[in-house]
Amino acid sequence: MSAPKDPVFGPAWQGWESYNQFSHSVKTDLRYVRSTSASQFLDEVRASCPSREQIIPAGKSFWRARLGCESMEVEQIDDGLTVVHEEDMPFGAKAMKPIELLPL
């Protein structure tokens, strides 16, 4: 499968394989001493950033994706027997909203 002539994400994005090669090099080679191709990939990504910049209005709230869960005590009552156990639950809404920063 060939890469598109005008990639949506800029010249560095020549398909998943270009990212996979970069990702593999960061995980297996010296992380902060990059190969020429890894440095070129990052330079091209950096150069393409202005095309994706957006102004975020003051006071705009964003929700975030977060891996993991929190444990909560769950109480179950069956035939007069009460059982309390820990159960993993998704993070609550408060944990998914970014910390509010005070204005400067």
| Confidence class for position 86, pLDDT limits 50, 70, 90 | very high
What's the mean per-residue pLDDT of the chain?
79
Token pair belonging to 81: 């027997």
pLDDT above 50 for 55 = yes
| Res 2 pLDDT > 60 | no
Confidence at 4, pLDDT banded by 50, 70, 90: very low
Residue 97: per-residue pLDDT: 72
CA 47 distance to own-chain centroid: 21
